Every structure is written in structure tokens, then in C-alpha cells.
């Protein structure tokens, strides 16, 4: 089948999908003799819509064989394996998808014909889910904490809910790709399928060349004696921000403000600092790259129209320059500011055991004020209302307060994890706080695993107040969260 025939069939199939004729679309796709990776991906998505998991797996296998760097194909095959309860293979595919993201926050496939953005935080979310299904709850929590470094504001609630579920060792829902969104052929190619001749065939009427039989159209030629010898440089090249440079060596970032690049990438340098670090733009992202990893590139239509980008030299990369003062990413005014930033990758994960368990992350060696502020914000309580302790039993040596040497606290961390105990002032003073009970005004049923289901008239014991609208409680041996408007507090005398 020729390229034009493949293009026609592909365009015809996605048109059928747009009008919800999925069986006809699948039939047209399967009639294409030599599908490319994108067409195989589309076939797999249609099989997923039909719940034909075996056929979907085979289609995504073919898509990945055609293009080993198609992260969204690994993501979709991971979803397929998860539905088939093959969690180890699902985890491996999500790990491949995350690796293909190359440290980027997302991949926008719009330029390739797919109106979809694959977010790194969503891939890490599904990796954590597969690990949770395998019983690796600690690994699941680590991946969700890592996902917070890649999150966008729109995805924050998703990651927080999943993290709360793993702390309670409860499964959560996967992030799934909308299977009715497909790769579409290049619209410019489709527009050229049926060419129309509006001018007809040109015929020579008079010519200075004897017996001139030329027919057709020739481009305009310079009409001056010393005309330009090369075309003008396109406006788009002059409109790019920064100076173009070629990446010579692979650079792996160690902090959140650094940018991952590989040999052959073209970056645009916005500013070069005195410590040999450069603030650059690559793939619409800004970050820091060592300047000695780059080589200035002269982009010119005349000099580069018949030349490819030269291959990077085959030698060891230079040593990484010391970060004396980091260049902060440019703000809206375009000026660079100097700021020392701690690497989010080195954050210490503090698991706090309260009436429920939660986790916060702090920079290594943080003072007491930073730690207590993080926990206070999480509990929505003032710092004077609770105490911290290194052990479950509160003693004079285990209590953590403003007078504690924090170096001795952080020395108790195992790897990048430490567990602390938190209690209210009443509990630590030996005066247990009386339990608060609620009676259900209405029945509450939810499919979310973290919610607490109950019936009208049930008695619920309060564990914590999540916010003004949601509470956490225990009823009939089950623990979960529930809406505050569904219950009424029982007076102390009635209790």
C-alpha cells in the first residue's frame, strides 16, 4: 500500500471515530497493510474501548516495536496490563514511560497529531498504584512524594488523595488515557491528497529561445545585475529568544532548577553566569545547564540548508562546575535573579503518627521552626496545641521542642526517612481528651476506598477534622473520611 493510500485510510478511520462509528473505524484501520507506530497505537485504543485486552496488548506491542521512544504507548500498554491484573508488567511499562519523559514535566503530543499531554506526575501516580497492588506500600509512597516535584496545580488534588490512600494502605483509581483520542494524520498532507489545477497547463507563445518547448511555471529570478546570492534569513530564526547553542554532552540534573539535555539538542542561552552555569530554554522549559557542555551554533538558512547538525565529539564530558550561586529562572520581566535553592530530590520524608498517619517533606538539616510549621499546616492546628516525640512514649529525652538539638533528631533518620510521634497537649499531660461522637442524620455511601460508609442513626467516633467540610472517623470497625453535613455531634451529657 502506498503512502498516499495509507494516509487516505488513516484519515477515513479517524473521521469514523469522530462520528462515533467505532466498528467501521476499526475495520478500516485493520485493512491498512503496513501501519506505522501511531496507527498501531490507534488500533490498540479502539481495542481498549471494546474491552478486547489481548488484541490491545498486541497492538501496543507493535506500536512500541515501531517506535521505542513513544512514551504514551508504554503508558497505554501499562493500563492494559493493569486491567489484566498483571501488575509487575504494568509497573515496568509505567517505568519505561517515565524514563522516556527524560525528566520533563510533560510531553505535549499535539505536534504529532494527538491532542493529549502526558504528565510525569500521572505516570508516577500509576507506578505507585502498581506497587501498591504488589504490596510495596513504602515504594508507592516514595513515588507519590516524587510526583509532588512534577505536579501542576491542576494535578495537586489527585496526588494528595493518592498519598493519603497509601498512608492508610488502601488502593486508589488509576489515571487512564481517553481511548477515543487518537493520533491523526498531518492535516497538511491530507489537504494535498486531492490536488486541484486551477491554472491549467502553460503554453509558450513567444520566446527568445529558438524552438522553446518549455511548459509549466518557473520561479521568479532576480532582475538586477548584482542581486542577492542567497535567500534572506527567515524571520522565525531572528524571533527566537536567546542565543542558539548545541549540546555536546549529556547532562543529568541534580536539583530541581537544572535541565536535562542530551547530545544534539539545541538550546537557547538566556544568560551565562560567572560560575560557568547558563540559564537556557529547551522544549519551552527554562533551567540551568553547565556552559562548558554547550557550543555556540550559527543558525542561517544559507549555511545550514544542506547541512545537518554536526555530531557531538566522542570524548568524556568536562567536570560539572561548582554551584556557588545559582541562576534563578527568568521571571516575567526577563531578568535573571540570583538565588540559592535546595534540591527537592534530597528532601527528607518525615512520617508523623497522629490519630492518623501522614507525611511531610523538609530539607535535610531543617531547624525546628520549619518542621513544626509543616506539621502545623498539615493538621490545621497551632503549634502550641501538640507536641512532637521521637518515640511513641513521651519522655523528657524523646520530646522535640525549640530547645532540641535538631542534629540529634536528623541523625535518627534511616536513609531519607524518619518517623515521629505527635500528640495533643491533653494527651501528653496525662489527661486524655474525651472522645467526640456523632450520630448520622443521613446514610452515606461512596465508592471511594478512603471514604467511610454508614447508615442513618449510626454512631461515629471522631478521629480528626480534615477541614470544615470533611471529618475522619470510625464506625462499625471501619475508618475513613465523610462529609460533616451528614452528621450531628452528640452532646457530652448524652455520651
Q: Residue 355: which residues within 8 A CB-CB, separation 6 or more?
A: 463, 464, 472
Residue 116 contacts residue 80 (beta carbons within 8 Å): no
SS (H, E, C) the chain: CCHHHHHHHHHHHHHHHHCCCHHHHHHHHHHCCCCCHHHHHHHHHHHHHCCCHHHHHHHHHHHHHHCCCCHHHHHHHHHHHHHCCCHHHHHHHHHHHHHHCCCCCEEEHHHHCCCCEEEHHHHHHHHHHHHHHCCCHHHHHHHHHHHCCCCCHHHHHHHHHHHHHHHCCCCCCCCCCCCCCCCCCCHHHHHCCCCCCCCCCCCCCCCCCCCCCCCCCCCCCCCCCCCCCCCCCCHHHHHCCCEEEEECCCECCCCCCECCECCCCEEEEEEECCCCEEEEEECCEEEEEEHHHEEECCCCHHHHCCCCCCCCCCCCCCCCCCCCCCECCCCCCCCCCECCCCCHHHCEEEEEECCCEEEEEECCCCCHHHHHHHHHHHHCCCHHHEEEECCCCCCCCCEECCCCCHHHHHCCCECCEEEEEEEEHHHHCCCCCCCCEEEECCCECCCCCCECCECCCCEEEEEEECCCCEEEEEECCEEEEEEHHHEEECCCCCC
393-397 contacts, C-beta under 8 A, 24 or more apart: 394/421, 394/423, 394/428
Confidence (pLDDT) at 193: 62
Report the C-alpha gap between 57 and 74 in whole angstroms: 10
Confidence (pLDDT) at 54: 93
Confidence (pLDDT) at 127: 92
Confidence (pLDDT) at 227: 47
Spell out the per-residue pLDDT of the chain, length 495, in tens.
677 788 888 888 988 988 888 899 899 999 998 899 999 999 999 998 888 999 999 999 999 998 888 999 999 999 999 999 999 999 999 999 999 888 888 888 888 888 888 888 889 989 999 999 998 988 888 888 888 888 776 666 788 888 888 888 888 889 888 877 899 888 776 666 665 555 656 665 655 555 555 555 554 544 444 544 444 444 444 445 688 999 998 888 877 788 888 888 889 999 888 778 999 988 778 889 999 899 988 765 444 444 444 555 556 667 667 665 444 444 433 333 333 333 344 678 888 877 767 778 888 888 888 888 888 888 878 887 888 888 877 777 788 888 888 888 888 887 778 888 888 765 444 444 457 899 999 999 887 767 889 999 999 998 777 777 888 888 988 888 888 889 998 876 555
Q: Which domains does the chain show, CATH number per domain?
A: 3-167 (1.25.40.10), 235-299 (2.30.30.40), 346-428 (3.10.20.90), 437-489 (2.30.30.40)
For the chain, state the CA radius of gyration.
31
Return the number of other C-beta atoms located less than 10 Å from residue 299's C-beta.
Answer: 14
Confidence (pLDDT) at 96: 92
Report the C-alpha gap between 274 and 421 in whole angstroms: 46
Provide φ and ψ at 440, rounded to 5°. Answer: -75, 120
Report the C-alpha gap between 97 and 118 in whole angstroms: 9
Q: Look at the pTM and tell me if it is higher than 0.75.
A: no
Confidence (pLDDT) at 199: 60
C-alpha cell of residue 235: 524571520
**Overall residue count recorded for the chain in this entry:** 495
Residue 437 contacts residue 489 (beta carbons within 8 Å): yes
Amino acid at each position: 500500500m502506498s503512502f498516499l493510500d495509507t494516509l487516505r485510510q488513516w484519515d477515513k478511520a479517524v473521521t469514523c471515530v469522530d462520528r462515533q462509528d467505532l466498528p467501521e473505524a476499526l475495520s478500516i484501520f485493520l485493512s491498512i497493510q503496513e501501519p506505522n507506530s501511531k496507527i498501531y497505537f490507534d488500533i490498540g485504543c479502539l481495542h481498549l474501548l471494546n474491552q478486547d485486552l489481548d488484541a490491545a496488548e498486541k497492538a501496543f506491542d507493535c506500536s512500541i516495536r515501531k517506535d521505542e521512544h513513544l512514551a504514551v504507548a508504554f503508558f497505554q500498554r501499562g493500563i492494559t496490563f493493569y486491567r489484566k491484573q498483571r501488575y509487575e508488567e504494568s509497573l515496568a511499562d509505567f517505568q519505561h514511560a517515565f524514563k522516556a519523559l527524560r525528566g520533563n514535566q510533560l510531553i505535549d503530543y499535539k505536534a504529532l497529531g494527538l491532542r493529549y499531554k502526558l504528565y510525569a506526575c500521572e505516570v508516577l501516580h500509576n507506578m505507585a498504584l502498581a506497587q501498591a497492588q504488589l504490596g510495596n506500600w513504602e515504594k508507592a509512597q516514595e513515588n507519590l512524594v516524587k510526583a509532588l516535584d512534577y505536579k501542576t496545580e491542576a494535578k495537586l488534588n489527585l496526588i494528595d488523595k493518592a498519598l493519603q490512600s497509601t498512608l492508610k494502605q488502601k488502593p486508589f483509581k488509576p489515571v487512564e488515557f481517553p481511548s477515543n483520542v487518537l493520533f491523526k494524520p498531518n492535516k497538511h498532507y491530507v489537504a494535498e491528497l486531492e490536488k486541484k489545477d486551477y491554472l491549467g497547463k502553460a503554453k509558450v507563445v513567444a520566446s527568445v529561445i529558438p524552438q522553446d518547448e518549455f511548459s509549466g511555471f518557473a520561479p521568479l529570478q532576480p532582475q538586477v545585475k548584482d542581486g542577492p546570492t542567497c535567500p534572506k534569513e527567515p524571520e522565525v530564526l531572528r524571533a527566537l529568544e536567546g542565543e542558539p547553542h548545541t549540546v555536546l554532552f549529556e547532562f543529568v540534573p541534580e536539583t530541581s532548577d537544572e535541565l536535562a539535555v542530551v547530545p544534539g539538542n539545541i538550546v537557547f542561552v538566556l544568560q551565562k553566569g560567572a560560575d560557568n552555569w547558563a540559564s537556557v530554554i529547551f522544549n519551552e522549559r527554562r533551567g540551568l545547564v553547565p556552559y562548558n557542555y554547550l557550543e555556540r551554533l550559527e543558525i542561517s538558512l544559507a549555511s545550514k540548508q544542506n547541512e545537518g547538525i554536526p555530531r557531538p565529539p566522542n570524548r568524556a564530558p568536562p567536570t560539572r562546575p561548582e554551584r556557588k550561586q545559582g541562576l534563578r529562572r527568568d521571571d516575567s520581566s526577563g531578568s535573571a535573579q540570583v538565588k540559592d535553592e535546595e534540591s527537592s530530590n534530597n528532601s527528607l520524608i518525615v512520617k508523623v503518627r497522629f490519630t492518623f498517619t501522614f507525611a511531610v517533606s523538609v530539607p535535610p538539616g531543617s531547624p525546628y521552626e520549619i518542621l513544626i510549621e509543616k506539621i502545623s499546616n498539615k493538621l490545621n492546628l497551632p503549634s502550641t496545641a501538640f507536641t512532637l516525640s521521637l518515640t511513641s512514649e513521651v519522655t523528657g529525652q524523646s520530646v522535640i521542642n525549640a530547645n532540641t538539638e535538631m542534629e540529634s533528631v536528623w541523625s535518627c533518620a534511616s536513609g531519607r526517612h524518619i518517623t515521629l510521634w505527635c500528640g495533643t497537649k491533653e494527651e501528653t499531660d496525662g489527661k486524655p481528651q474525651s472522645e467526640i461522637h456523632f450520630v448520622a442524620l443521613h446514610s452515606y455511601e461512596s465508592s471511594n476506598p478512603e471514604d467511610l460508609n454508614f447508615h442513618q442513626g449510626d454512631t461515629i467516633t471522631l478521629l480528626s477534622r480534615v477541614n470544615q467540610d470533611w471529618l475522619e472517623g470510625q464506625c462499625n470497625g471501619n475508618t475513613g473520611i465523610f462529609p460533616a453535613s451528614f452528621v450531628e455531634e452528640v452532646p457530652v451529657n448524652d455520651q
